[in-house]
Structure 1
Amino acid sequence: MICAAIFDMDGLLVDSEPHWRIAEIEVFQTVGLALTEEMCKRTTGMPIESVVEYWYERRPWTNRSRAEVAHEIHGKAFDYIGHRAGPMPGMLDRLQYFRAKGIPMAIASASPMNLIELVIDRLNIREFFVVWHSATLEARNKPHPDVYLGTARKLGVDPACCLAFEDSGNGLKSAHAAGMITVAVPADYEFDDSKFDLATLKIPSLAAFDESLFLALQAEVDTTPS
């Protein structure tokens, strides 16, 4: 049976991705790199340090360190998300759904813990979660499985009976590598991307998740060899 529901945060619970892109565009301009929204979408789901490396490898600069660029992007994004970001469609209904079933919930995010705390309080959803965990506290960030395995360990459950919700390709790889049942919730612009074929189930938003899908995934868990 499904013993826990684990959620990514950015772009899944909170509509933060546009604010990350704004921060990236503004900061990369300081090193002579004029990014567009479409260019930013190439690195959705990657830790900011990896985003900086991605663009440095393709268009290196000399006037600022990569660490300084990453630090400023984090600072701007935190400010924008903390003051402007709202919930993703269906988020609150799904949290209430799992709470009504008595299924413990957790957050497993690539973002640092202070941003997780900021979002939890901005959306007023702290009461729903028993664990929130950051991949920055693990040896490796997504797409490696560390944050999902660490979250399952903190919950005291078998990863194989966990239901993981992810909106990015890197996050999906992370949850899949941890051996979890996965639900992909991609953004519209990449919904048909083959990278999401890895998921057990793909839906257009959290609002589309219902009892029939839960029961189908429950059966998936029950028939998975231990």
Structure 2
Amino acid sequence: MICAAIFDMDGLLVDSEPHWRDAEMEVFRTVGLELTEEMCKRTTGLPIETVVEYWYQRQPWTNRSREEVAHEIHNKAFEYIGLKAGPMPGMVDLLQFFREKSIPMAIASASPMNLIELVIDRLNIREFFVVWHSATLEARNKPHPDVYLGTARKLGVDPACCLAFEDSGNGLKSAHAAGMITVAVPADYEFDDAKFNLATLKVPSLAAFEEPMFLALQAEVDSTPS
């Protein structure tokens, strides 16, 4: 049976990706790099330090350190998300769905713990989760499995009986590498991207996840050799 539901955060529970893109475009402009929203979408789901390195390799700058740029992007994104970010469609209903089934829930995010705490309180969803865990506390961030394996350890459950919800390709790789049953919830602009074929199930939004899907995933977990 499904023993836990584990959720990514940015772009899945909270509509934060537009605010991350705004922060990236604003800060990269200070080093002479004019990014568009489409360009920012190339690195969706990656840790900001990796995003900074990605663009530095393509257009190096000399007026600021990469660490300084990453730190400022984090700070601006925190500010924008704290002031403006709202829930993704269907988020609260899906959390209620799992709570009614008495299935423990957790967050496994690439973002730092202070941003996770900020979002939980902004969306008023702290009551739903027994664990929230940041990949920044692990040796490796997504797409490595560390944060999902660490979350399963904190929950005291077998990763193989966990249901993981992810909106990005790198996050999906992370949950899949941890051996979890995966549900991909891609953004419209990349819904048909082949990278999401890795998922056990793909849905257009959290609002589209329904009881028959849950039962099918439950059956998949039950059929997996222990």
Name 1:218's counterpart in structure 2: 218
Q: Percent identity?
A: 89
**Aligned to 2:62, what secondary structure does the other structure show?**
coil
**Aligned to 2:25, what secondary structure does the other structure show?**
helix
User: Is 1:183 matched up with 2:183?
Assistant: yes
Q: CA deviation at 1:189?
A: 0.1
Q: CA deviation at 1:47?
A: 0.3
Separation of aligned partners in 2, 1:224 and 1:54: 38
Question: Structure 2 length normalisation: TM-score?
Answer: 1.00
Question: Structure 1 length normalisation: TM-score?
Answer: 1.00
Name 2:198's counterpart in structure 1: 198
Separation of aligned partners in 1, 2:55 and 2:104: 39
Separation of aligned partners in 1, 2:4 and 2:71: 34
RMSD: 0.2
Measured against aligned partners, the alpha-carbon deviations of 1:50-106 in whole angstroms (never above 9, x if no partner) come to 000000001100000000000000000000000000000000000000000000000
Name 1:93's counterpart in structure 2: 93
Separation of aligned partners in 2, 1:198 and 1:220: 15
Question: Runs of 4+ in structure 1 displaced over 3 angstroms?
Answer: none
Name 2:161's counterpart in structure 1: 161
Q: CA deviation at 1:153?
A: 0.1
**Aligned to 2:63, what secondary structure does the other structure show?**
coil
User: Is 1:119 matched up with 2:134?
Assistant: no
Separation of aligned partners in 2, 1:189 and 1:13: 18
Name 1:133's counterpart in structure 2: 133
Give the residue type in structure 2 aligned to 1:9: M
Measured against aligned partners, the alpha-carbon deviations of 1:23-57 in whole angstroms (never above 9, x if no partner) come to 00000000000000000000000000000000000
Separation of aligned partners in 2, 1:25 and 1:49: 15
Separation of aligned partners in 2, 1:224 and 1:27: 47
**Aligned to 1:197, what secondary structure does the other structure show?**
helix
User: Is 1:18 matched up with 2:8?
Assistant: no
| Structure 2: tracts of 5 or more residues without a match | none
**Aligned to 2:50, what secondary structure does the other structure show?**
helix
Measured against aligned partners, the alpha-carbon deviations of 1:128-187 in whole angstroms (never above 9, x if no partner) come to 000000000000000000000000000000000000000000000000000000000000
Give the residue type in structure 1 aligned to 2:50: S
Name 2:34's counterpart in structure 1: 34
Task: Report the number of matched residues.
Answer: 226
Separation of aligned partners in 1, 2:201 and 2:225: 19
**Aligned to 2:5, what secondary structure does the other structure show?**
strand
**Aligned to 1:46, what secondary structure does the other structure show?**
coil
**Aligned to 1:133, what secondary structure does the other structure show?**
strand
Q: CA deviation at 1:225?
A: 1.4
Name 2:145's counterpart in structure 1: 145
Give the residue type in structure 1 aligned to 2:200: T
Give the residue type in structure 2 aligned to 1:21: R
